[in-house]
Every structure is written in structure tokens, then in C-alpha cells.
Structure 1
Amino acid sequence: MLYSLLMSISKLQIQRVRNISSINIEPSPAINIICGENGSGKTSILESINILGLTRSFRTNKAHHVVQNDQLASVVFGFIDPMMQGLKQSLGVERPAEGEARIRFEGSDIGLSTLAELIPLQVINSDTFQLLEGSPAIRRQFLDWGVFHADKAFIQLWRGFRRVLKQRNTLLKCGKIDNQLRQVWDSEFIAFSDQLTRLRKEYLSLLKPEFDSVISQLLEGTKIELGFSYGWDKKRQLDEVLASNFERDLRQGFTGNGPQRADLRLKVDGHNAAERLSRGQKKLVVSALKLAQGVLFQRMNSRPCIYLIDDLPSELDQIHGELFCKVLEQSSNQCFITCVDDSALKTYWSPQTEIATFRIAEGSLC
């Protein structure tokens, strides 16, 4: 294990996040177990790390629900070593109940895309089931997280595509489009679409072997197939699809085909995995997706992710819980794991793994 060389967060300070008034934590570079009763604040610690990495909660889009009652803002501060250079660099996020978040890194303001590069986060919680059961938008977001960290050109391509899509939809809502103007926007739409789709396909081809390796350890004998839907009939060129569907798009007022409809497909024996797997199997599959993505990220960027895992033991029996932890341990990522009772989790790790346990009650460390 190289955990001592791969530390991401070496100090964490949380202020005014839900029922946490103030907490200071010096986490392990490896496994951090946060235990406490329901409502004690253990998930709020994970939520705070998510705020540090993305300025937002993974539980709600409304900042005022996160900020402690009668307070104006939450603050999360940490020392990080994003490029694994043996440094301790300061990062702070102030999340007001109303308005935009402020991000400071080493004394300077930075933007959200820069922040996302500094702290690559992976969240595994009850919402992660939506990778199987939810809308295509959730699976696109998963896929695009990987592409964002794999190719620096992606973010500009994605922004350019969103701009062109918005403009094309605005014209469609008008009800009439000059043919020449339509051709101009369709040409841009197709150019961005082809590049975006190529990057997504290339990333998925790299992710597949990593996923196959992880899922074979967690669900031995179960073959999960990963497929990719372009967002249109891949047997036809996109310009042909746009032309044939133009009248329908005009009636609906939006573009019905394109990368904004792309999807990641998961199948078991040719059938939709969400309809075939048990609840426990689903947890292992969605966790395998996240773990595989972390493995690929580390291989491509020479640094680990940070994993936030809420209520790890739920939905898993002892055997699969132990298998999950072994895969997690082998990945050399810094992990923050919540549970009500840590007695079972204590036995899942090798003696060489550095484990820190934090007990919390009523928003304070015990």
C-alpha cells in the first residue's frame, strides 16, 4: 500500500453544516470510518467534503437546507495535496444560504471547474442506485465525469455543445426557421456532437475492462454488459436524423436527437440489469461502476480519488461487504465511510491498512 504517498485531505474543518457547529478532523490517508446513530451528523461530514470538492451537497440542491439554522453560511476548509507532491495546500469553500459559493485555494479565488480538478470525488450512497434505475441524464453525468477528468478538451466541447443546443431549441420554439440559418446551426450541432460522442465512446472503451475486473470480484459468475447509446440511431448519420425529424422537432420545440439523449446501458443476459438484479446485486453493480471509474482515473492521472460512502453495510451481507472493502482497500483511495455500528467493518481490512474511526453524536465528535 502507498497510502502515505497518496493522501488527498490531511485536515478538515467543518463549520455550520446542518447540525454541526464546528468539527476538526485529521483523517487517515486510507480508511476513515464515521459512526453514529441516525441523525447524529455522520452523513453531514460526507456532505461537507462534497461541498469542499464541488461547493454543493449531494443530498439537496438548496443551499439553505445545508446551512445551520439561523446562520448565514457554511464553511468547509481543508489541507489537500491534489497532485501528490507532498504539499499541504489550503482550500476553503464558503457556502452561503443564498447566493454563490466562494472558493479559495492557496489564498486566491478559483472557479468551479478548477475546483473539480483539485478534488476528484466519488459518492456511493442510496442515490447511486439511480445509475441503474434512474433517467439517462444520471448515467450521462457519470460518464461525463470520467471524460472530464480524462480529456482536457471535454469541458470546452461540452460548453460549446450546450450553447449550440440552446440556440437551436430557441429557434425551434419560434416556430419558423430560415433554411439557411438552420443549416448553419445544424452544422455546428453536428460538429460538436461528433466530437463529444467520440470522447464518450473512447472513455467507455477504457472503462469497460476496469469494470469487468471489479465486478468479477464482487459478483463472481455474473456478466454485466456495458453498452453506449449515441442519442440517435447510430446506423444513420446525424445530419440525416436531424433532417428527417425536423418537423417533429419544430412541433415539439426542442431537439429530439443528439448527445443530449446519450445513455449508458447495463444488461444481464441481454436484459435490462435494473429489472433482473436483486437490491444487493444492484448495490454491487453501481459500486463497481464507481470503483472502476476511480481505478481508471488513478491510472490516467497518477493520483487517487476520494470516496464518500454513506451507510456501507446496508443492502450487503457480510461476505459481499467484505469483498467490497477488499476492492476498495486495493484501490489506494482515501475513503470516508459512514455506518451506525462499526463492529463488522473493523474486521474487513488488512492489518497494514491505516484506519481512523470517528464517533459522532448530536453534531459533535465523541
Structure 2
Amino acid sequence: MPIRKLHIQHIRNLADVHFDPSPRINILHGANGSGKTSLLEGIHFLGLTRSFRTSQLRHLVRSGDESCLVFAQVEALPGGALQPLGVERRLDGEVRMRHAGQSIELAQLAQLLPLQVIDSDTFLLLEGSPSIRRQFIDWGVFHSDRAFIQLWRGFRRVLKQRNSLLKCGKIDPRLRRIWDREFVAFAEQITQLREQYIELLKPDFEATLGRLLGGVAVELRFSPGWDRKTPLDQLLEDGLARDLKQGFTGVGPQRADLKLRADGHNAAERLSRGQKKLVVSALKLAQGALFYRLNNRPCIYLIDDLPSELDERHSRLLCQFLEETSNQCFITCVDPAALDGIWRPDTAVSRFRVEAGAISPAD
């Protein structure tokens, strides 16, 4: 669902910004601090009601304002009619999300705008905590199976209840067995969907990595969060004393991880800094390619300062991948010349200059 018209109000230094992006490639260039990344944050806010840079709304809302608003016209079908989409959040906690004249929930919003972010923090996908890799997996599962969101919500509810009982220090055995049965049921279903997704992702990842980083093989291994050789209900029983002492559940899908191995070793320890960037880029591109194949529509990529993260050759290769799957891309850079001569003549590329929180066409 490409964005065709975009209106951003009160996000960081963007007081009131309008522009009409290309459905394909958009280059946003300007000096550091001009508002380029804030524009990407605005698009991310439109798709998820939050920034990818901060979890604190007060840091996102322009100083002196009480709310921020992003409104867009989005293309329902290729070449089809445009539909309005708007998101507003106030510092007092109120959130409004509307699409085509109807109020919607966050899950519906995320389905409408499948966002992929590539910035300096994205490269923590290899070196960061398992929670970052779980988010990566669950983005893909969410967009590949409609049943996942309800399973995930159910599991989070059960996990929260079980952990609350553990923190109390005493659990009635009958009550615990009830929650453990629900825990296991949700855990098995979520894990099956996650495993299926990783198996689907592997061929795209291997093909993409082969083009970006030929000669280096990286293996993806899914770790479900417990030893599958032992039934999960038995592990919960055996680990009860430990869980009571710690006050939380030590095994289950909340401990899942994606392991990346290079030459039999942890890829984060084996690869160079440059190689790690390419592996993470391959993961993001593969995820977008798989999304396109499963849903017959592209993602929206938000890529912050691409030339500083990858060298010229690999920046070009990444851009070629983005073209091949018809993604809508918003790419920031300081020097627009760094991204010249990359795109095919038939690719719709729009260039915009960002200066002091204002944006204007640069063509």
C-alpha cells in the first residue's frame, strides 16, 4: 500500500510538512540535523504509532506541542483509488487511528503499512539481545499468518499471569497446572509458526547473502526457547523451584532466539564489522522479498543514511534488490550524488531537499 501523499505535523523539528512521494524510490537529502530522519520517523509513526528511535512520545513530539499527527493518502491497489490513513497521539495518552473513514486497531494499521527499517541500530540484529531477533522473526510471522497475533496476545496474557503468581512466592498446584496447560498450548502453536517462517526465509536469505557477500556462508538456526527433547510441561514442572526464586518463567517462546553461524561459530564473533552489516542487510532484504512473495505486495523501506552504512558497491547492490521487488523506499543521505546512477531508467525516482524542517522537490 504505497504512500502517495504525506502530511506530518509536530514531529521533532517538522512543524507542518507536506510532500507527494514517488511510489517507488524517494531520496531525502540535506545536512545533518535538517529533519531527514524525522521524516522517516513520521512514516514509521504512521505505520506503528511510534518512532524507531525512541520509545518516549515526549521526545518525538515537537517542543511546545501536545500531540503529533501524520496523515497520508495510500494506494489501496496498484494504480487504484487512494484512501485516507491518519494517526494522532497526544501526550495525555490518547491515540487515534483511522483508515478510509473508519477507526482501526494497531494490528490492522501494521498490516496496512508493512515497514522495514535499516539504520545504524538495525545492525544490532547480530550483536544485540535475543529480543531484537525475536522481533525480527515475529514481524515476519505476523505478516505471513493472520492467526499469529491472537496466539501471541493469548500467550502474553498467560505468561504475565504465570509470572505474577511466581512473584507471589506460592502457587496453588491446581491453579498452576491450569496456567501451565494454557502456556504449553500457546507455546507450541507460536513455535510452530516461527519455525515454519524461518524455513521459508532461509532460501531468500541464502540467495541474497550470496549476492551481497559471495564466499561467506551464514546458517540460520531457530532456537525455540527450551530443549525440545523434553516436553515443555515437564520442563515447567522441573524448573518450578528456580522460577519461584527468580520470579519469572525461565523457559518458553519468550526465550526464543535466531542463531546465526558462520563457519560453525557465532557470526557476531566471527565476521568483520563490514560483513555483519551485509548479513543484516541480507536478512532485511530477504524478509522483504518473502513478504512480497507471500502477500503479492511490497514493503515500505525506511533507510537512514545508506551511504554511511555501506560502501558504494554494496549500496548499489542493496538498491538493486529493492528495485527488483517494487518496494517503496525512503532513503536519506547527506550528499545526493552518492545515490546517482544507481536506478534503472524506468524506475520512478523522486528527490527531495530537506532543510531546517522543510522539504521541497530537488529534481
Q: TM-score, normalised by structure 2?
A: 0.97
1:123 aligns with 2:121: no
2:142 is the alignment partner of 1:148: yes
Q: Structure 2 regions of 5+ residues with no counterpart?
A: none
Relative to structure 1, the CA distance from residue 45 to residue 212 in structure 2 (aligned partners, 3 Å threshold; closer, same or farther) is same
Q: 1:175 aligns with which of 146, 169, 177?
A: 169
**Separation (CA, whole Å) in 2 of partners of 1:307 and 1:69:** 28
Structure-1 residue corresponding to 2:31: 37
1:283 is aligned with what amino acid?
A: K
Amino acid at match of 1:276: R
Judge conservation of contact 1:63–1:98 (CA < 8 Å) in 2.
Answer: no
The code of the aligned residue for 2:234 comes to E
Structure 1 residues 13 and 326: CA distance shift in structure 2, 3 A: same
Change (3 A) 1:202 1:112: same
**Do the aligned residues in 2 keep the contact of 1:64 with 1:96 (CA within 8 Å)?**
no
Aligned-residue offset at 1:82: 4.0
Q: How much does 1:110 deviate? A: 1.1
Match of 2:317 among 312, 323, 334: 323
Q: Does 1:332 align with 2:297?
A: no
Q: Pick closer, same or farther for the CA change 1:169–1:83 going to 2, 3 Å.
A: farther
Q: Which one of 71, 91, 94 corresponds to residue 65 of structure 2?
A: 71
1:98 is displaced (CA, Å) by 3.2
Match of 2:283 in 1: 289
Secondary structure at the counterpart of residue 69 of structure 2: strand
1:95-110 counterparts in 2 under 5 A? Answer: 95-110=89-104
Is this contact kept in 2: 1:14–1:22, CA < 8 A? Answer: yes
Which string of whole-angstrom CA distances, capped at 9 and with x for unpartnered residues, describes residues 105-149 of structure 1? 122211111101111100111110121111111110110011111
Rate the CA distance shift 1:81–1:321 in 2: closer, same or farther, 3 A: same
Q: Does 1:346 align with 2:362?
A: no
Output aligned runs, 1:1-366, within 5 Å.
8-84=2-78, 86-366=80-360
Between the aligned partners of 1:81 and 1:339, the Cα distance in structure 2 is: 26
CA deviation map 1:249-292 (0-9, x unaligned): 11111100000000011111111111122222212111111111
| CA deviation after TM superposition for structure 1 residue 100, in Å | 2.9
Deviation at 1:226, TM superposition (A): 0.4
Moved more, 118-127 or 168-177: 168-177
**Which of 262-271 and 99-108 deviates more?**
99-108
Q: Which amino acid aligns with 1:292?
A: A
Residue 344 of structure 1 aligns to a residue whose secondary structure is helix
Q: Which moved more, 1:344-353 or 1:52-61?
A: 344-353
One-letter amino acid of the structure 1 residue matched with residue 315 of structure 2 = G
Report the CA distance between 1:101 and its aligned residue.
2.0
State the distance in 2 between where 1:64 and 1:182 align: 40
- Alignment deviations for residues 45-93 of structure 1 (CA, whole Å, 9 cap, x no partner): 1000001111111111111111111112111110112454712000011
Q: Report if aligned partners of 2:19, 2:359 keep a CA contact under 8 Å in 1.
A: no
C-alpha contact (below 8 Å) 2:29/2:352 kept by paired residues: yes
The whole-number CA distance in structure 1 between the counterparts of 2:186 and 2:216 is 37
For residues 77 and 150 of structure 2, the distance between their equivalents in structure 1, rounded to whole angstroms, comes to 23
CA distance in 2, matches of 1:262, 1:35: 39
- Which has the higher mean CA deviation after the structures are superposed, 221-230 or 276-285? 276-285
Deviation at 1:97, TM superposition (A): 2.8
CA contact (8 A) 1:34 1:336 kept: yes
2:58, 2:82 → 1: CA distance? 31
Give the match's secondary structure for 1:14. Answer: strand
Name the SS of the counterpart of 1:90 in structure 2. Answer: strand
| 2:120–2:309 contact (8 Å) kept in structure 1 | no
- Structure 1 gap segments, 5+ residues each: 1-6
**What RMSD over aligned residues (CA atoms) do the two structures have, in Å?**
1.2
- Contact kept, 8 Å, 2:45 with 2:51, in 1: the verdict is yes
Out of 238-247 and 199-208, give the one that drifted further.
Answer: 238-247
Number of corresponding residues = 360
